[in-house]
């Protein structure tokens, strides 16, 4: 069908069209939202103090050992180190990896903390009282609840308990070692390989001071209950009471773990962690000369770290860090925050020099789910990124109605021109 306009109708249509275009353009200039910046500076939750001069951090204490490291648990950053990536035998610090695997398998429902774990003949002969290594004291061919067997491994550093747990969780030591390496890769340990659950010397069983520190950080963060066993000072199994070999548990009440290690090839080793206020540090000393020396050096590293570095909470979990425009949504914007509290550790006096910023997509389109990752918040100090976390949507933004979506589609086109 062909529609013919009379001259009067055509003039009216032209006039109406001109009016609508003019009105629409005016509305556009008044109502169109500004293009959001992809990167913008943001303020931390706590106001920065006035800038102040800070003295340089003095060198760390002299440590006796083949390798050592001190890291900030909040970020994983190295504060001081010597040969941090040198491959060394981890000795009984290996059992921290064993604890991690057990905790992960518990969380996954593969085993239960009430499981009865058998102290097998194999576990008893390889790691029991008749050997030269540390043992738990559980009787051969008898069972104990998984959590009690694990405490025997952690507190008393029982090689027999480590073997019994490995057999229970994976069927054999070899199968459990395969799990250890899978979880190590998931954690991000780049220079470690495990051959057994106890840490006795074996070819191709190695780690580094840095990897071990990151392992301790992962256990603390991911499985705090399993980590809490490390602060038990002594454990009684049957008639035998044995003390935790981490001497710092008696010297410093802020130390709450984590694990010792020793054999002839590894020397004396200690992974230690302390929490003072919001600040947690983790030290690892490998290849020390004695039980006393590893404790003294670990204490010195922790004290140095707490003295010359400070931890601040920049953002609380679930609170808005920034807002961002959302197209085609029931709400015109989404609030962005962090899923976990964001802590940063910096040299004392440097807090005022932090420069937080966000990096978010230029255009966001509904629907957006609660918790959906949208961009990153970064913190710079002296031109380097010292911390970064994903930004997530604090609340969902549902898709808008038909006309809202149509209207925003036009504006998205308008701004792209």
Dist. CA 214–CA 222, nearest whole Å: 12
For the question of residue 126 being annotated catalytic, the response is no
Cβ atoms of 399 and 329 within 8 Å: the answer is yes
Bridge partners (DSSP) listed for residue 344: 312
Dihedral of CA atoms 222, 225, 230, 231 in degrees, nearest 10, equals 120
Dist. CA 96–CA 199, nearest whole Å: 10
> How many Cβ atoms sit within 10 Å of the Cβ of residue 168?
21
Active-site pick, 75, 81, 95, 151: 95
Helix and strand counts by DSSP (H, E) for the chain: 11, 17
Active-site pick, 75, 81, 136, 157: 157
Cβ atoms of 185 and 202 within 8 Å: the answer is no
Determine the straight-line distance between the first and last CA of the chain, rounded to whole angstroms: 36
Cα 371 to the center of its chain, rounded Å: 17
> How many Cβ atoms sit within 10 Å of the Cβ of residue 210?
24
Cβ atoms of 161 and 136 within 8 Å: the answer is yes
For the question of residue 95 being annotated catalytic, the response is yes
Bridge partners (DSSP) listed for residue 118: 143
For the question of residue 157 being annotated catalytic, the response is yes
Report CA-CA distances (Å) from 239 to 230, 242, 246, 355.
Answer: 21, 10, 22, 58
Dihedral of CA atoms 63, 90, 310, 337 in degrees, nearest 10, equals 160
Active-site pick, 75, 81, 92, 298: 92
Dist. CA 286–CA 127, nearest whole Å: 23
- By annotation, the residues acting in catalysis are 92, 95, 157
């Amino acid at each position: 069908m062909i529609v013919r306009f009379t001259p009067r109708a055509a003039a009216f249509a032209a006039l109406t069209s001109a009016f609508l275009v003019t009105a629409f353009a005016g509305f556009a200039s008044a109502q169109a939202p500004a293009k959001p910046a992809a990167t913008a500076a943001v303020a931390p939750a706590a106001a920065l103090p006035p800038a102040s001069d800070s003295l340089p951090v003095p060198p760390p204490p002299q440590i006796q050992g083949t390798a050592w490291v001190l890291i900030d648990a909040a970020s994983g950053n190295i504060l001081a180190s010597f040969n941090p990536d040198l491959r060394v035998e981890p000795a009984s610090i290996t059992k921290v990896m064993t604890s991690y695997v057990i905790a992960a398998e518990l969380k996954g429902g593969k085993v239960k903390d009430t499981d009865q774990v058998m102290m097998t003949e194999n576990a008893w002969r390889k790691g029991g009282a008749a050997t030269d290594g540390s043992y738990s004291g559980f009787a051969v061919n008898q069972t104990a609840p998984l959590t009690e067997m694990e405490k025997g491994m952690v507190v008393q550093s029982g090689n027999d308990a480590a073997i019994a747990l490995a057999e229970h969780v994976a069927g054999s030591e070899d199968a459990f070692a395969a799990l250890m390496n899978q979880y190590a890769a998931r954690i991000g340990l780049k220079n470690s390989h495990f051959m057994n659950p106890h840490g006795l010397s074996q070819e191709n069983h190695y780690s580094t001071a840095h990897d071990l520190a990151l392992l301790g950080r992962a256990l603390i963060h991911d499985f705090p209950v399993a980590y809490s066993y490390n602060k038990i000072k002594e454990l009684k199994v049957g008639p035998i009471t044995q003390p935790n070999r981490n001497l710092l548990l008696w010297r410093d009440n802020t130390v709450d773990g984590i694990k010792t290690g020793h054999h002839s090839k590894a020397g004396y080793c200690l992974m230690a962690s302390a929490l003072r206020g919001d600040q947690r540090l983790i030290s690892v000393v490998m290849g020390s000369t004695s039980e006393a020396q590893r404790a003294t050096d670990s204490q010195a590293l922790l004290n140095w770290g707490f003295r010359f570095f400070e931890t601040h909470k920049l953002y609380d979990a679930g609170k808005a860090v920034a807002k961002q425009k959302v197209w085609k949504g029931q709400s015109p914007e989404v609030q962005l925050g962090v899923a976990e509290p964001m802590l940063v550790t910096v040299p004392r006096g440097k807090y005022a020099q932090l420069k937080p910023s966000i990096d978010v997509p230029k255009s966001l389109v509904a629907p957006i789910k609660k918790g959906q990752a949208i961009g990153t918040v970064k913190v710079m100090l002296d031109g380097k990124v010292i911390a970064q976390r994903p930004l997530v949507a604090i609340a969902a933004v549902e898709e808008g109605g038909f006309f809202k979506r149509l209207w925003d589609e036009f504006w998205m086109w308008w701004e792209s021109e």
